[in-house]
Structure 1
Amino acid sequence: MIDNHIHPVLGDYTPRQSQADYLAGFVHGGVTSAVSAGEVHTPGRPKDRAGTKALAILAHKAFADHRPLGLRVYGGALLLEEGLTPEDFVELADAGVHLVGEIGISGVKDPETAATMTRWAHDVGMSVMVHVGGKSVPTSRAIDGEYCVQVQPDIAAHVNGGPTAPTIDDVKLILDQSSSAVELVYNGNQRAASDIAALLAETNQLDRLVLGTDSPAGAGIAPAGIMRLLATMCSLAKISPASAIATATGNTARVRGIPGGFIRIGENADLVIADAPDGGQASDMASALEFGDTPAVAAVVIGGEIKVTRSRNTAPPRRTPVFPKLIE
């Protein structure tokens, strides 16, 4: 599974909640890859042109080599600030940066400038997110559907609120007048998440849905947040488990242009073995999601290596997987 929306800093520590080892905790929640929406919580985050570029390049290169418990972290999401030029986006792309952080939480907030810089980002192959909904922090701004339509990002972030949800009409406007994928997050409005998931199913647009946790946030860090979102979709919006899981795997890989998300030859060997939690009503992972229970992570494999055999962040599974020794 891929968490489409995290706000890391550097290393496996976040000053937002003064917590270490939280990224490794996501692996225990069944997440094998996570995508940065911007390193906005960096203490003393630079907001000038040179500094915001330097932070994106540093985070991208640092997380390319730092993988907590094997977690693939796609870091280095450029936070848009005034003064950036088309040449800056070319420079960043040449350095490997392929993400633009959540527009609306950094210096560039007006839709005209945001739309122009989004075009520059698209010209060099970057994916772009826009914050949708009410203010998340004092320096952010409320953003509605009209703003998102004007900017035309790849992803309309947390359309169920980050943490405050926009209107359902805003979501419909984004769906009708843009090609953007829409994102649901755990640290958002869960009633809105259910309503939006049902709307996407009714209109046959689940292929446009991706999932994230928006962690760390004021509501905390949610290592099993993607599992909880799947349970919300299946139990309340009546989405089939298979379709729900696809939104947290292949959809995100496709929208973000990153490896993984599919079980097929040539893909990352990143697999989650999950079951119904022991002592519950369900008999397997799918029925657990339909009941609204958090599935039990029984094992996690990343890059073909077993990283977790007993999750610290979910209940124990009904059945324990057995790993026979491989014979060369």
Structure 2
Amino acid sequence: MRTAIVNLGRIVTGDLSAPVTPGDGILMADGRIEAVGTLGAAAVEACDVVIDAGGATAIPGLIDSHVHITFGDYTPRQKTVGFLESYVHGGVTTAISASEVHVPGRPKDVAGVKALAVAAMKCFETYRPGGMRVHAGSLILEPGLAEADFAELARLGVWMVKAGFGAFATPYEYAPLVAMARAHGMVSMVHTGGSSIPGSSGIWADHVLKIAPDVSYHVNGGPTAIPDADFPRLVGESDVAMQVCTAGNLRTTLLVGKLLAEAGRLDRLLVATDTPTGSGIMPLGMFYTISHLASLGGMAPEIAIAAATGNNARVYRLNSGIIAPGRDADVVVIDACAGGSQNDALAGLVNGDVPAVGAVVTAGVPRVVGRSRNTPETTKKVRVAKNTVPQDFGGAGH
């Protein structure tokens, strides 16, 4: 399918080094972005679908790097079916598993955790709820895992590991396993903060520095944050990516943003939701945290968007998250909400408003055009201007 978005008022790239790019159009074909800028009439005419953005803003599809995936589009924690598809209506085009720790009766032996990671990864290789791409199968680190296990899993395609829920006497014991995972090309994440489920332990700055993961998960609390004195240590004594989550402590979210900005290391800031958990289902959670950083933290909204898109993509080695030729064609069109006090999406975010979602495109295929069922209407009209395929791209009504 060839898809074009035209008549854009602004293009936010998700790239921290160049967060806004000139132009008013995005051309997509075969699941990738082909061109960004001013599109020629012939290129637009050759498209199967043309979306007229009406002057609204394009951003990369949001990457929620902390989602509690189980199997299928179901969360046993909240007994809810279809939450991932609903997140697409909140602008989330990619979900990354925080490990399948919420699978009922999850295994804790070596054979079991390996099987769980492989099964989850394989189940989501071709399953795309609502068009969302899901990266599942994060190995839960448990005692007894050895070098040969990481080598086997890497051969099978498992590329993520999670520290924090294993039956270890102390969190320091995760360090050699994380080192093994890294040696086999895996991305490693560690639970950070107070205990979140029975059997887990609190993990603070000393532990994180010793474990040396790629990502310090929900560093602002999942749900309980580390002590304030630990944040400068993680910023100054490591290069670990620091993930802030909607289901955490808002005050420390802003503190993390401030410290990383002062250190010139906003490339290490990642935005996620840490849902579904006891905090519930949050289809608009990513936008809430972006709006908090922009309105309360004084961060430029395009930078906050990059923390939720391109930064996540870089750390997790994804081809999505940035609007540029060759990247995955995951694009969201947002605008100020109808009836609000602002006239464009970025001004609305600075005002503390969650934007209206006018269109969601994943893998170059429009999934929603006109109105998301999870947001108010856009101020500017976003519509399908041309459609040659037998599909209705309208969002479901409330």
TM-score range, shorter chain: over 0.9
Tell me how far apart the structure 2 counterparts of residues 155 and 98 of structure 1 sit (CA, whole Å): 14
Give the C-alpha shift of residue 138 in structure 1.
Answer: 2.0
Letter in 1 for 2:206: E
Unmatched segments (≥5 aa) in structure 1:
none
Tell me how far apart the structure 2 counterparts of residues 78 and 109 of structure 1 sit (CA, whole Å): 19
Give the C-alpha shift of residue 327 in structure 1.
Answer: 7.5
Partner of 2:218: 158
* CA radius of gyration, larger in: 2
Q: Secondary structure of 2:292's partner?
A: helix
Tell me how far apart the structure 1 counterparts of residues 302 and 239 of structure 2 sit (CA, whole Å): 24
Written as runs of structure 1 = structure 2, the 5 A alignment for 1:121-270 is: 121-270=181-330
Runs of 4+ in 1 over 2 A off after TM superposition: 105-113
For this pair of structures, how many residues does the alignment match? 327
Tell me how far apart the structure 1 counterparts of residues 247 and 128 of structure 2 sit (CA, whole Å): 24
Partner of 2:41: none
1:49 paired with 2:110, answer yes
1:95 to 133, 139, 156: 156
Higher helix share: 1
Q: Secondary structure of 1:55's partner?
A: helix
Partner of 1:20: 81
Tell me how far apart the structure 2 counterparts of residues 109 and 224 of structure 1 sit (CA, whole Å): 38
Query: Relative to 1, partners in 2 of residues 1:2 and 1:109: Cα closer, same or farther, differing over 3 Å?
Result: farther
Tell me how far apart the structure 2 counterparts of residues 177 and 135 of structure 1 sit (CA, whole Å): 24
Tell me how far apart the structure 1 counterparts of residues 83 and 166 of structure 2 sit (CA, whole Å): 24
Q: Secondary structure of 1:129's partner?
A: strand
Give the C-alpha shift of residue 263 in structure 1.
Answer: 1.0
The answer to whether the 8 A contact 1:111-1:150 is kept is no
Q: TM-score, normalised by structure 2?
A: 0.80
Give the C-alpha shift of residue 326 in structure 1.
Answer: 5.6
The answer to whether the 8 A contact 2:138-2:160 is kept is yes
Tell me how far apart the structure 2 counterparts of residues 14 and 327 of structure 1 sit (CA, whole Å): 36
Written as runs of structure 1 = structure 2, the 5 A alignment for 1:110-125 is: 110-125=170-185
Tell me how far apart the structure 1 counterparts of residues 111 and 90 of structure 2 sit (CA, whole Å): 36
2:372 to 302, 305, 311: 311
1:6 paired with 2:67, answer yes
Unmatched segments (≥5 aa) in structure 2:
1-61, 390-398
Tell me how far apart the structure 2 counterparts of residues 93 and 110 of structure 1 sit (CA, whole Å): 26
RMSD (Å), alpha carbons: 1.3
Q: Secondary structure of 2:264's partner?
A: coil
Tell me how far apart the structure 2 counterparts of residues 15 and 327 of structure 1 sit (CA, whole Å): 40
Tell me how far apart the structure 1 counterparts of residues 355 and 181 of structure 2 sit (CA, whole Å): 38
Partner of 1:84: 145
Partner of 2:164: 104
User: Which one is further off, 129-138 or 28-37?
Assistant: 129-138
Higher strand share: 2
Give the C-alpha shift of residue 313 in structure 1.
Answer: 1.4
Q: Secondary structure of 2:280's partner?
A: coil
Tell me how far apart the structure 2 counterparts of residues 69 and 274 of structure 1 sit (CA, whole Å): 18
- Name the structure, 1 or 2, with higher relative contact order (CA <8 Å, separation 6+): 2
Give the C-alpha shift of residue 109 in structure 1.
Answer: 6.0
Q: TM-score, normalised by structure 1?
A: 0.97
The answer to whether the 8 A contact 1:109-1:141 is kept is no
Tell me how far apart the structure 2 counterparts of residues 305 and 4 of structure 1 sit (CA, whole Å): 22
Post-superposition Cα deviations, 1:56-76, rounded to whole Å, max 9, x if no partner, equal: 000001011111011010000
The answer to whether the 8 A contact 1:168-1:196 is kept is no
The answer to whether the 8 A contact 1:80-1:108 is kept is no
